Amino acid sequence: QYWMQENLRTAHFSDGSVIQEMEFNMDWPYTGNRGNRGATGMAAWCYFERSSGYNYPYGKLYNWYAIADPHNVCPAGWHVPSDEDFQILSDDLGGDSISGTHMKPIKIWKEYHAEYADNASGFNALPAGIRYRGGSYDRAGADGADFWTSSSYGRHSAVCRSLYYGGSNFGHSYLDRRSGLSVRCVKN
């Protein structure tokens, strides 16, 4: 596998079409499906806490509808990894219980937990924060890194993979598709 070493920063799909920026908290929840309209929603991105200063080095946060859009949020020749793609990476690094250590750069993560960061893989996981489905933000700075997968879970959720400053685990969870997370791309 060949992985990008940075979080995605694009505001366009690979075909050049625009991904909608959803800056305000009150607008973010309306990107998703409501009621029984099915699994479709509007692709959107945002900066953490509406600050473009987070774009470098942390990248943008995307809802899952940007991930699932057939126009491809990743550059041509790359794709958003499935949960299985992330599992291959994790297994190559020793499994979910320790692989997180090998994905986090020491300088970025909190110094008193440097024992959980050696970046041996070169993945360079960045703690970019998260935007919840209601529009609020959490986990900025050196607290956690959450990445979308292309794998859906149920009707309104999708699988994400997470790293935290105080441990070596690379975990699985399921979030509402309207949530905003980081994206890493893997080569086709």
pTM of the model: 0.92
pLDDT per residue rounded down to tens, the chain (188 residues): 999 999 999 999 999 999 999 988 778 887 765 433 334 688 999 999 888 999 998 999 999 999 999 999 999 999 999 999 999 999 999 999 999 999 999 887 776 577 899 999 999 998 888 999 888 888 655 578 999 999 999 988 999 999 988 889 999 999 999 999 999 999 99
CA 88 vs. chain centroid, Å, equals 17
78-95 core/surface letters (b: 16 or more CB in 10 A; e: else)? bbbbebebbbebbeebee
